[in-house]
Amino acid sequence: MKYLLSIFLLISTQSFATSNLDLKLQDYIRTFNLKPLSAPSEFNKKLFILGREFFFEKNLSGNKNINCADCHHPRTMTVDKLPLSLGEGAVGIEIVSGGRKQEQGKIIPRNSPALFNLHNQPILFWDGRVQVDLMTGKFTTPSDLPKEFPGVLKNALAAQALFPLLSHEEMRGEVGTNEVANAKSNEEAWDLLLQRILTNESYKANLTELFSGEKLSIAHVARAIAYFQEQAFFAADTNFDRYLKGDLGALTEVQKIGMDIFFSKGQCGKCHRGEHLTDFSFHNIGVPQIGPGKENGDDFGRYSITGNKEDLYAFRVPGLRNVAVTAPYMHDGAFETLEQVIEHYDDIEASLLDYLFVNDYTNYTSELSGPLIMTNANKLLHLSPKLKKNLHFEEAEEDALIEFLKGGLTEKRFVELIK
């Protein structure tokens, strides 16, 4: 009842001026270059099926005990629903087993991101360590790619698929446990995985047919995986996208008010703009650090890639479609709900300094530490200049903003999953 009353009062202050509100939203569409999400390339059934098989193929892991789907299962909205992912040695997924369990697995220092709508995104991973220049086609990756790889990969999503295979914690396994983990170079590890794939006559025949005349490499496997993800996880039939296409009735009045707050008082459009509702930039927004971190319990974010001081504690701005079904949030999954995310932006200093980590997860065998408070002062000192530290949202404004994020930005098929 309190929620309904606050929304009613907020709509009342708008004087039900639907046309005026739509005019404001149309102005935001122009100002922030908002566009309906474009569809992926034409559907290729054979490549899709092969990519799906690779997505679920455990032979692509060193110890043959983990696949892409274990952390990105379609039935769990392509996330594992944990703040920090669990790598090689862990078991189960959320739907089947009541949650992924650590057992002998490693805690991955960062949250496992969702796979929705990645087909034309040029920058991936929280620290942006995989990128493609859309003008030149040049890739930036954690390690050099063989010269023939870029022509096969085509996009950042395919390049990204190569690197979980190399991570000892994620899919490769500990040194001494298998031949892939023991490989002396990344290229050797990729070649060993390819040889496993080619021992499967069906895989070999399909790869040979799909990439006729090309010398097969692990890049072709990655391209197939990426193609499956592009097609299977394209989910952009949202009220927001319908509105952008000209259906002014697609968004409810409350969602329109929430969109107005998002781009005006919330100032979210400074970073969440364009086709994907992200400008793919990196910012320190003062997120509390939980878990093992990348280095001595800490995670320096983009700084670890560039070494530039302005990138300290900065992480990639994520896209927002289907955000309501892909909790928890931030690079380390520090926030369980969108309400907590909005409260963080409302008063970043209070959120960071008063953050309480409720460690009630039974999924982890080893204790999940946090928060790391010794970094708080430095984070606050170097917050992104794009941030306004205190937004002072009223309760009704927060409610409308939540309704835009949940009801406005969620694929129609998934709306019933929103709590």
Alpha-carbon distance 74 to 351, whole Å? 32
Spatial separation of the C-alpha atoms in residues 236 and 37, rounded to whole Å: 6
What number of CA atoms fall less than 13 Å from residue 160's CA on the CB side?
26
Q: Say if residue 13's pLDDT is above 70.
A: no
Average pLDDT rounded to a whole number, residues 156-173:
98
Residue 401 confidence (pLDDT) above 90: yes
pLDDT tens per residue, range 368-377: 998 999 999 9
pLDDT of residue 344: 97
pLDDT at 33 over 50: yes
Amino acid at residue number 13 = T
| pLDDT over threshold 60, residue 321 | yes
Distance separating alpha carbons of residues 329 and 139, to the nearest angstrom: 28
* Per-residue confidence (pLDDT) for residue 1, from 0 to 100: 45
The pLDDT of residue 94 is 62
- Identify which of 295, 323, 297 has the alpha carbon closest to the alpha carbon of residue 414: 323
User: What's the rounded Cα separation, in Å, for the pair 202 and 197?
Assistant: 9
What's the mean pLDDT in 273-281?
Answer: 98
The model's confidence at residue 93, banded by pLDDT at 50, 70 and 90, is: confident
Q: What percent of the chain has pLDDT over 70?
A: 94
pLDDT, the chain, mean: 94
Tell me what the mean pLDDT of segment 173-201 comes to.
98
Is there a contact between 83 and 62 (Cβ–Cβ < 8 Å)? no
Q: Would the pLDDT of 17 be above 50?
A: no
- With contact defined as beta carbons under 8 Å apart, do 88 and 97 qualify? no
Alpha carbons 47 and 232: distance in angstroms, whole number:
12
How confident is the model over 80-87, as a mean pLDDT? Answer: 96
How much is the average pLDDT of 152-181?
98
Distance CA 379, CA 313 (A): 7
CA distance linking residue 88 with residue 123, whole number of Å: 25
How large is the average pLDDT for residues 267-289? 98
Q: Is the dihedral of CA 263, 269, 275, 276 positive or negative?
A: negative
Say if residue 106's pLDDT is above 90. yes
Please answer whether residues 102 and 70 qualify as being in contact, where contact means their C-beta atoms are separated by less than 8 angstroms: no
- Report the pLDDT averaged over residues 215-225: 98
DSSP state of 81: S
Asked if omega into 328 is within 30° of 0 (cis), the reply is yes
Return the closest-CA partner of residue 418 out of 396, 402, 399, 398: 402
Q: How far is 6 from 12, CA to CA, in rounded Å?
A: 10
- Coil, strand, or helix at residue 241? helix
Percentage of residues in the chain having pLDDT higher than 90 = 89
Report the 10 Å Cβ neighbour count for 130.
Answer: 21
Q: With contact defined as beta carbons under 8 Å apart, do 417 and 77 qualify? A: yes
Q: How far apart are alpha carbons 313 and 295 in whole angstroms?
A: 12
Cα–Cα distance for residue pair 227/41, rounded to 1 Å:
9
What is the arithmetic mean of pLDDT over 292-319?
97
Query: What structural domains and CATH numbers belong to the chain?
Result: 2-38+236-417 (1.10.760.10), 45-72+115-232 (1.10.760.10)
Indicate the DSSP class of residue 316.
E
Q: In the predicted model, is pLDDT for residue 296 greater than 70?
A: yes
Where does the pLDDT of residue 18 fall: very low under 50, low under 70, confident under 90, or very high at 90 and above? Answer: low
pLDDT-derived band at 103 (thresholds 50, 70, 90) equals very high
pLDDT for residue 10 is more than 60: no
Q: Which pair of tokens denotes residue 109?
A: 């220092």
pLDDT at 99: 83
How many CA atoms lie within 13 Å of 64's alpha carbon, on the beta-carbon side?
A: 7
